[in-house]
Amino acid sequence: MNVREAKQRIEVLKKEINLHRSNYHTYNTETISDSALDTLKHELANLEADYPQFITPDSPTQRVGGDVLDGFIKQEHTVPMMSLADVFNSDELRDWMQRNQKILGQSEGEIEYFAELKLDGLAVSVGYQDYQLTYGATRGNGVIGENVTHNVKTIHDIPLRLNALDVVQRDALNAVRPGWGTSLADRWDGTLEVRGEVYVRQSDFEQVNREMLQQHKSPFANTRNLAAGSLRQLDSSIAAERKLSFFAWALVTDLGQQSQYEEWCLLKVLGFPVVAETLRGYEVKDFEHFHQEMYNKRSRIDFAYDGVVIKVNHKDLQSQLGFIGKGPRFMIAYKFEAEEATTKIQDIQVQVGRTGKITPVAIMEPVHVYGVTVTQASLHNQDEIDRLGVRIGDTVVVRRAGDVIPEIVRVLPGLRVGRERKFQIPFQCPVCQTDLIQKEGQVNRMCPNLQCPARTMRHLTYFVSKQAFDIRGLSEKMLEKLENAGLVQNEEDILNLRYDDLRVLPGMGDVSAHNIVTAVQKAKHISFARFIQALGIPHIGEQTAKSLARNFDSIQSLMQATLDEFTSIDDIGDTVARSLVEYLEKQSNQEKIQKFFEAGGIIQYPQASSQVGFFCGKTVVITGSFEQYARPDLVRKIEQQGGKVSSSVSSQTDYLLAGTKAGSKLNKAKSLNVDILDEHTLQNVL
C-alpha cells in the first residue's frame, strides 16, 4: 500500500466506522456486528500508527461514545467515562503485561492483576449523597452523559440507599484489610459515585421479546439493544417493565480502597451486586485459563459478556501507569474470539468439482475468525455473487462459528474506492475449455465433460478421502504424480496399485510404496454405508448413505431397487431417489461396482440395527465441543443407541447435544423448545 492508498483507506474506514457507531450509540440500531466493527477499528488504528500524519480529531480512534439525544438533561461526568483497549489473544495480552512491567520497572510475574467479566450492557454512573441515590447518568460521549435518574431508580439491583457501615459491614471490611472498616466508618458521610453496567438477563430478554411479539411490535436484536433502548426512555414506566439489571465495576470515590480487589469487596459491602466470577493472578497463563473457562461457561450464565477485563490490581501502580489515548493503560479488555471479522477479497477463482459443478471461490487476505486463519470462502454460484454484490477488491464481513465453514456474510460497499472489479463466472470450463451448461431453473453451471481432467482428479481425491475409502498416503499431489506416471486413471487403478510399480517411482521409496499398498488393501474392507457414500452419487451424503445401508440388506438389492422403494424410505425425497436411480441405471457405474469386487473388495454389512437405546427413533443435533468425546465418537454412540444425527436444528429435532462454545444452534433449539442435553447428562444417558 502506498501513501496515497493508505490515506484513501483511512478516509473510507473512518466514514464507515463512524456511520456504524452513530447508528449504534445514537439510534440503538446495530448495523454491523461488534466483532466485524472491531476488525475495521483495528485496521484503522494500525494504519494510523503507520501514517500518523493522517490522524484527524474526528477519527473513531480518538473518541468514545455517542452523542447525546435531545430530550434528556445533560450531565457532565465528574471524571470522564473512558473506554478500554482490546486484546484478542495471549500474545497481545503478554505484550500488554510486558509494557506494564517495563513502565513500572518490575519483572515478569511480579505485578498482580484482578480480572472480572466484561459485561455486554451499557455503562452508567450513579451518585449518592448521605447514602441516598441522587442521580444516574449514561456514558454519553464520555464527558457528557444523559441524566436517566428516573429510569435508574426502577432498577432493583441498584440500591436506593447504601448500606451504612454498621458492625457487620465494618467487620467485613476489617477482614479484607485490618482497620480499614473502622477508619472508614469514622470519616465517611455516605457520598460516593459508582460505575457499572446496566444489562438485561437472557431470560428477561426472552420474555420481553415474547411480549413484544404478542403486541405485534418488532423484537429486540440482543440484550444490549434492549438495555440501551429501555434506559434511554423519557417515560420511566417503560424501563420499569423491562427488568433491567446492574453490576458495579468501579468506585470512583476514594474510600481508602488500595486495590481493585478491595474496591470489589467494598462495593459488595455497600450493597451493590458485583460479578462473582473474578480472578487474582500474576501471569499470562492464569488469565489465559480464566478467559477460556469463562468462554466455556457462557451458555450456563444468564447474562451476556464478551470477554474478561484485566486490571492492574494495586491503585498506586494504576496511577503510575496512567492513561493513554481513550483509556487507562492499567486495564485491558481480553475479548473472546470473534465470530465475524472483515477482510478484503483479493481474487475470485473458479473450481471444477467432482460432478462438474463450477464453484467460484473468494481468495481473501488472511483473517483470524473464531480461532483460525481464513483465506478462502466459497461463493457457491453466480446467484450468490450477485446477491452479495461482491466485487474483487471489496471489503467483506466473514463469519465462522465453531465448526462451521467460513462464509461471506455481506459486502461493505461504503469502503469502495472505485478500483473494485465485478466478477462473472466464465462460460467455458477453466480447465478443459468445454462450454459450460446451466440447466433451466438451476443455479449451478456445470462442466459436462466426463473426461475433464479437473473432474477426474476431484473424483479420485474424493474416492481416497476420509468420507469414502479413506486411503491414507494418497494426497491430491500423490494422485497427480501417479496419474502422470500413467498408473492411475480411474478408481479401479487405485484399487489395483502394485508395490513394484510404486517403489520405482522417483522420490517414492520402499516404505511409502509399502504404506500405500497396505492402505489400499485395508480400504478394500469397507462398511456398506461407507461404500454407498464412496460411490459419490450426487445428493448422497453420509446420512443418506447410512439410511440406505439400514434399509437394504445388500448392494445387489440396492442396485435393483425402484424409484418408489427409495422414496418410501423415511428421509429420502424425490431428488435423492431420482439421483440414485439415474446413477445405478448407468452401465458404466454398474461396471465400476463390479470392478470393486474384482479387485478383491469386500462390503461389510451391519448387524441388525439397534431397536433399543435412549435415542431410539430420535433425531439429534450436535453443537459445540466436548471434553470426553470427539465428534465421530459421539455420532457413533448416538447411532448405537438407535438415534439419528442431523446437522441442523429444526422442528424435527428431538435433542440438541450442546457442548461448550455452542453457537447459533443452541439459540435456535431454545427458540424451538428442543430438549437440550449437555455433556454431563449425556454421560449419564450413555
- Would you tell me which residues interact with ligand IVH (CB under 6 A)? 82-84, 116-119, 123, 139, 197, 249-250, 309, 327-328, 331, 333
| Residue number, 205 or 305, with CB nearest to ligand IVH | 305
Compute the least distance from the CB of residue 121 to ligand IVH, in Å: 7
**Residues 345 and 367 sit within 8 Å (Cβ to Cβ):** no
Nearest to 77 by CA among 152, 151, 155, 135: 135
d(CA 580, CA 555): 13
118 catalytic residue (yes or no): yes
DSSP SS3 for 72: coil
Q: Which residues contact 605 (CB under 8 A, 6 or more apart)?
A: 528, 549, 553, 554
Angle at 181 between CA 178 and CA 183, to 5 degrees: 95
Q: How far apart are CA 64 and CA 50, in angstroms?
A: 22
The catalytically annotated residue of 14, 41, 118, 243 is 118
Least distance (Å) between residue 131 CB and ligand IVH: 24
- Cβ at position 340, least distance to ligand IVH in Å: 19
Q: How far is the CB of 77 from ligand IVH (least distance, A)?
A: 12
CB-nearest residue to ligand IVH: 123
- Residue with smaller CB distance to ligand IVH, 42 or 595: 42
The 8-class DSSP code of residue 489 comes to: S
Crossing angle of the two packed helices 587-598 and 574-585, in degrees rounded to 10 = 70
Residue whose CB is less far from ligand IVH, 117 or 674:
117
Residue 225 CB, nearest approach to ligand IVH (Å): 15
Q: How far is the CB of 65 from ligand IVH (least distance, A)?
A: 8
The least distance separating ligand IVH from the CB of residue 254, rounded to whole angstroms, comes to 16
Nearest-angstrom CA–CA distance, 157 and 265: 16
Nearest of 149, 141, 126, 159 to residue 232 by alpha carbon:
149
The length of the chain in residues reads 686
Amino acid occupying residue 644: K
Please identify, using beta-carbon distances, which residue of 327 and 643 lies nearer to ligand IVH.
327
Contact criterion met (CB below 8 Å) for 661 and 401: no
- Sheet of strand 86-87, all strands in order from the earlier edge strand to the far edge: 86-87, 331-335, 305-312, 113-119, 278-281
Q: At 77, is the secondary structure helix, strand, or coil?
A: coil
Pick the closer one to ligand IVH by CB: 85 or 238.
85
Helices (H) and strands (E) in the chain, counts: 27, 24
Q: For 631, what's the count of Cα atoms within 13 Å in the CB-facing half-sphere?
A: 11
Taking the least distance from each CB to ligand IVH, the nearer of 317 and 350 is 317
- In angstroms, give the least distance from the CB of 666 to ligand IVH: 23
Taking the C-alpha atoms of residue 375 and residue 357, their distance in angstroms, rounded to an integer, is 21
**Judged by CB, which is closer to ligand IVH: 139, or 380?**
139
- The smaller minimum CB distance to ligand IVH, of residues 309 and 656, is found at 309
Q: Are 121 and 224 in contact (CB under 8 A)?
A: yes
3-state SS string over 493-535? HHHCCCHHHHHCCCCCHHHHHHHHHHHHHHHCEEEHHHHHHHC
Residue indicated by cell numbers 451504612? 164
Residues with active-site annotation: 118
